[in-house]
Structure 1
Amino acid sequence: MLASRCFAYLTAATHRRYALLPFHRQTALFRLTRRPGRAARCWLARRLRPARPTAAGLPRRWSVLDGRPVLAVVDDTISPLNAHRRNLHLVTDALTRAGVDHFVIPAASGLSSRVGVPAGERTAALRALGGVGGLRAAVAERRHRRLPTRPRWRLRRTPVIRIFQAVTSVDGQLTYGGQAACEIEFWTVDGDRLHAPRSNDVTAVVPARSAPVRLTEAEACSFAPEDRIARHVTRTPFTRRPATWPDFPVDLVCCWTDPTDPRWRSRRQRAMARTAGPVPRARRADRHRRRSGAGGAGGAGPTGRADDEWVGWDGTEELRHLLRSVHLHAPWIRRIFLITADQVPGWLDVDDPRLTVVDHRDLLGGHTVLPTFNPYAVESAVHEIDGLAERFLYLPGNVFLGRPVDRTTFFEPNGIPKVLLDPGDTSAVAAARRVFADQFDRLVDPGTPLGVPLPVRRSTLAEICTSIPDVVARIRGHQIRQPDDVSLIRSLHQHWSYLRGTAIPGSLRRHHVDPAAPDAALRLHRLLDQRDADAFGLDTELTDAVDSIARRLRVEFLSRYFPTPSPYEVDAETAAARAPFTATELAQRLLRPPVGRFPAGPQLQLAAAPQQARHRDTGYPAQPDPLSAADPVPATEVLVGHRCG
């Protein structure tokens, strides 16, 4: 790759100057050095042919699709699922208006949809689609071209044609085309039966004429979320879901904390002052700084120790883009459980029925000393969340979904997780090795997979806690994570379920990038240009010295990789009204019922309504409120607002 060769010979000072450029200039320079021919064609297309709206008045702009400049429709709510819906509806609506007989065929994987048409109606179908305008067609593996009004000879003979409309985001960074195409199959007529031109998961023969039946969106595409609205016309044999399709709900669990909250920082510093034990290892950012000769005092924070070694995410932007990645690339997730330390980001819509905020006090009320700053202690009680599905994904704080994935990426169709058996060599691995030696009499080096979502079964996690109660009690007894603490989800669950025979080894295309590394800008631009990773992780252990450049690079990269707001975000007006408050103060108003020192009002009562994450039947004693009367909260009302998307 030309870009890699060019950057390989640059000095550290030149890398630094490159990182100081605006992000869009970095992107243009990267693309120019990586593929100069493509960059030149795109530049000429923009200059010689202005982007005019479609016949329906939809705005368009030039974008790059499969290495070629194309005119794409601008969609401010762009997502893979919306692109799939758009192409399927454009095709079925055009065929319905033309009176062409057709039926939807369930697609087991991917974003593509499939529509069957009798071969005798090929010409009428192609003419109906050619009259839509803005559609592109591809035959087999050939390049896509604009769909003509009058079908050409190649389109009149091929058994399968891929039809799609290119769509792009407002800034042109995200474009969908052939990967979300609607594939039209021309079924041959044999008397009163139709024969498929290729195999599918259900049947190769259907009646030529039958009573119309309908499929829901989830029955037609495994990538779509579950719903009960029958939208698509099909044949009766396709109404039964095949055994190779996953038929179980999957939830998402992620932990979040805002390390910029002064209240959270002061509590953690007090907890660290009371905790005796070895100092956590220095941050990776400090190691990069020492390698580059910048010097410094390592990872010491305000207390002289690496007290920021585990702070989750830097502020709230990473959480915002994590939820955007789930909304874009895994819409089949049933519910999201966000575990927080009595904090809520100002942009989060806590009223969304698919989102549940779980506080540490409700999750660990009778298990550990609160407040806790040990992520492994929190992970040890995840299986006790009310309403959590048997199968769920655990998404660490610095991990994002990089491209569309479905349930079979993480689970077999029968529900068996696909685990990653990565080795490790830290002190926590030594403690985990002893656990496996005692329980299974096997030598295991369980590492912590980086940059990857982890498939978990709730029953397996409960079995681990029951089998090693002493280890779990020791982990929960540490307010601050200790070097010999073991992660039940990231270290034990993967190998435990594999040795029990309830999981199989899996694989995932993943990347892990440290924004403080010298080649971070090059790797991030390559990831943005290719979008070929199922998941990727960004190192969040940054010091103030490493710094503003790495932080800006990370935030700008995420905003371009995930430009579409998720339904879990409030509107800009509500977010601006919440901006003066810290995450702890917002949690007081949005998650708790009004008490004496809070003003009563209709908006405040509306904000305090959702409490579905509370444990009502555990019997654990109530914990004291960490926000005592000596630490008052200003009595200012905050509007709840409306969701975006």
Structure 2
Amino acid sequence: MRRGTSGRSALAGQAHTRESTLAHGAASDAPTAGWAPVLERDDVVLVGGVPHLVAEVTPQQAETDDLLRLAALLEAADIEPILLRRASGRPALAVDAGARKRAIAALRADAASEPWVVGRAGRARVFGAGSNNPFGRDESATVYRPRVSPSGTLRLGASHGIRLEFWRWDGDVVTAPHANALTRRVIATDDLNFTTIDLHGKQWRTLDGMFSPGPSEFTHDVDIVFSWVDGSSSDFQRERARRMSRYVVGDGDEHSARFRHLDEIRYALRSVNQYAPWIRRIFIATDSPAPWWLTEHPKVTIVRSEEFFADQASLPTHNSHAVEAQLHRIEGLAEHFLYANDDMFFGRPVRPELFFTAAGISRFVESNVRIGIGATDHQRSGHDNAARINRALLEERFGRVIARDLEHCAAPLRRSVMYELEEAFPEDFARTAAATFRSATDISVTNSLYHYYALMTGRAVTTREPRTRYIQTTLQPGIRQMERLLARRDVDMFCLNDGSRPEVPEALRERVLRDTLEGYFPIRAPWEVTASGEPVSGRSEEASSAVGS
């Protein structure tokens, strides 16, 4: 990886990602001399022999910036593109095949200063590097400007590019190279009903119905709630120790691992910004002071226990089960929301349909781990006891026995179902909410009481669709697993759990964990401040401006 043609070191290390900046890992075979004008830019470096913009942008921002710039290039060449939605939901632009030469010429001219790449048929070529027509004879190609984060650990390429299609008008039919979300490849011209749509601050020409929600799309607001405790706070440690001296807790429930943190919540929030930007609001349920890097932002809200607990007599609480039993009372929370701990992260772009069907039915992921047999016992962990209480309640009501835990990942819930669940088991909710520490009589609402109750009453289904990963960071295999996770980036969600029985030195665990999180989520979110106290810029505007302005 080097900047310009001088060979100076530009970024720290090789980018850690399987995602190729060229289509499906294809490499350009063009000489670098043709890229000289682009490589003169201070914000362009060579990665794997290909020019990349150095940009602190999310995948969605990169896609939007390229879409806007490509449209501006075409319009400047007197070509009016048609905005399409692909079957995947991603954008595409269609132009008349008769304007093909002008469209390619416009891209070629812009490639004098921008590192445009054209991916087609499993290969990719860079404009301006000795390739007069990277499109060849293909009727479509994916165009994009490769990007790399300043850290060098995140690359964005073809999977976030824009497909440019050349449509052929022939008499009374139009032939497109691909079907899309609305149309077949061959369309009768009489069936073309053009309209406009406002998107990304711009008005686009499109087809009527192209952007109307489909029958399987979820269109309601979705929020997310994170529970978080700053276990490193000396005030927290003193208060917890004072109150715990009067209680007997279960196996592992007293361990500091349940509360210590390495700023995981910062990266959990970054994962939302990076891979789930459709989430409307983020709530952080905590009684700890706000982290220093968090500034006021309309998307992020800290909620204290006294703001949503029905009975405040037992506060403050050190019981996550108690907090989880009161989440539905958070003011302003959407009907449909996700719940996650601060050690749970999104690992790649996800869509709301991963969590909810179009009808609002939640989709949860069962674990292969069994709850286990036997009754509750003070020697068991609070988690294991709560699973047994859940099982007994559900068996009594429905005559069915649950056997599995849920995966450690963001879980979908509905406020109305949680209120209904509380009405069905009022004493259990009240008892759990009043327990200062985890106890052998707690229920666990978010794992798994809610989900199986919703399943048995027709408001939830199980799913195997999300690819998840659970890593115990204190165990020997966890070190290798974190390194592999960063290199591959091949899961939808993952959990980096801080176990209570360490096998590796804490200094090693902390170093690998920090490297993994900073490498995986190098893009600072707009609600962060820098070390000097300055707000982080919300997005990159480098490609959003009109060409030639």
The TM-score normalised by the length of structure 2 is 0.83
Quickly say closer, same or farther: Cα 1:309–1:272, change in 2 above 3 A: farther
Q: CA deviation at 1:429?
A: 2.1
Cα root mean square deviation, aligned? 3.0
1:314 is matched with which residue? 261
Aligned twin of 1:407: 352
Deviation at 1:520, TM superposition (A): 2.6
Q: 1:143 to 1:274 in 2, by over 3 A?
A: same
Contact 1:53 1:59 in 2 (8 A): no
Give the distance between the partners of 1:336 and 1:168, measured in 2 at CA: 27
**What is aligned with 2:43?**
59
Change over 3 Å in CA distance of 1:52–1:340 after alignment to 2: farther
Aligned to 2:215: 243
Distance 1:397 1:55, change over 3 A: closer
| Residue 504 of structure 1: aligned partner | 461
* In structure 2, distance between residues paired with 1:154 and 1:327: 34
Post-superposition Cα deviations, 1:208-265, rounded to whole Å, max 9, x if no partner, equal 9977623324xxxxxxxxxxx4443324443534333321111010011101111111
Structure 2 counterpart SS, 1:238: coil
Q: CA deviation at 1:149?
A: 8.5
1:214 equivalent in structure 2: 197
Amino acid at match of 2:306: R
Q: Which amino acid aligns with 2:273?
A: H
Structure-2 residue corresponding to 1:84: 63
Query: Match for residue 104 of structure 1?
Result: 83
Compared with structure 1, are the counterparts of its residues 495 and 87 closer, same or farther at alpha carbon in structure 2 (3 Å cutoff)?
Answer: same
The 3 A distance-change label for structure 1 pair 51 and 466 is: farther
Q: Hey, what's the Cα distance between the residues in 2 that align with 1:196 and 1:390?
A: 41
Q: Is the 8 A contact 1:368 1:476 kept in 2?
A: no
Matched residues, percent identical?
27
Tell me the residue number matched to 2:92: 114
User: CA 1:280–1:377 in structure 2 vs 1: closer, same or farther (change >3 Å)?
Assistant: same
**Are 1:554 and 2:540 matched, yes or no?**
no
| Equivalent residues in 2 for 1:17-416, closer than 5 Å | 54=38, 57=41, 59-64=43-48, 69-75=49-55, 77-107=56-86, 109=88, 112-133=90-111, 134-140=115-121, 142-147=122-127, 155-191=135-171, 194-204=174-184, 205=187, 213-217=196-200, 229-238=201-210, 240-275=212-247, 277=248, 279-282=249-252, 306-308=254-256, 310-311=258-259, 313-315=260-262, 317-349=263-295, 351-364=296-309, 366=311, 369-416=314-361
Residue 454 of structure 1 is matched in structure 2 by 411
Query: 1:268 deviation in Å?
Result: 1.0
Structure 2 unaligned blocks of 5 or more: 1-11, 18-25, 373-383, 539-549
CA spacing shift, 1:49–1:365, aligned 2, 3 Å: farther
Which amino acid is the alignment partner of residue 340 of structure 1?
T
Unpaired runs of 5+ residues, structure 1, are 1-23, 32-40, 218-228, 284-305, 575-640
Deviations 1:245-289 (A, max 9, x none): 3211110100111011111111111221122x3x43238xxxxxx
> Which position in structure 2 is the counterpart of 1:435?
393
Could you list the per-position Cα deviations for residues 397-446 of structure 1 after superposition, in whole angstroms to 9, with x for gaps in the alignment? 21111111111121223322111133423333221110111121111124
SS of equivalent residue, structure 2 residue 406: coil
- Go from structure 1 to structure 2 and tell me whether the alpha carbon gap of 1:473 and 1:446 turns closer, same or farther (over 3 Å shift): farther
Q: Which residue of 2 aligns with 1:514?
A: 472
- Is contact 2:530-2:536 (8 Å) kept? yes
Counterparts of 1:574-593 in structure 2 under 5 Å? 574=533
**Do the aligned partners of 2:365 and 2:463 also contact (CA within 8 Å) in 1?**
yes
CA gap of 1:346–1:108, structure 2 versus 1, over 3 A, is farther
2:543 is aligned to: none
Q: Give yes or no for contact 2:305–2:323 (8 Å, CA) kept in 1.
A: yes
Alpha-carbon shift at residue 92 of structure 1 (Å): 1.0
| Cα distance change of structure 1 residues 189 and 541 upon mapping to structure 2, 3 Å threshold | same
Note closer, same or farther for the CA distance 1:210–1:121 as it changes in structure 2 (3 Å cut).
Answer: farther
Secondary structure of the 1:338 match is strand
Q: Note the C-alpha offset of 1:51.
A: 9.2
Q: How does 1:560-579 map to 2 (within 5 A)?
A: 560-574=519-533
- Post-superposition shift, 1:390? 0.9
Which structure features the higher share of strand residues?
A: 2
Flag the 1:115–1:376 CA change in 2: closer, same or farther, 3 A. same
- 1:424 correspondence with 2:371: yes
Q: What is the number of residues matched between the two proteins?
A: 495
Tell me the alpha carbon deviations over residues 449-470 of structure 1, each in whole angstroms, 9 at most, x when there is no partner: 22x1111111111111110111
Q: 1:183 deviation in Å?
A: 0.5
Distance across 2 between alignment mates of 1:144 and 1:115: 19
Q: Deviations over 1:515-558 (max 9, x none)?
A: 22223332212111111111111112368984122112211221
Q: CA deviation at 1:492?
A: 1.1
Judging changes above 3 Å, is the alpha-carbon distance between structure 1 residues 171 and 643 closer, same or farther for their aligned structure 2 residues? Answer: closer
Could you tell me how far 1:471 is from its partner in structure 2? 1.2
- The two structures have a TM-score, normalised by structure 1, of 0.71
* Aligned counterparts of 1:171 and 1:447: Cα–Cα separation in 2: 37
More helix by share: 1
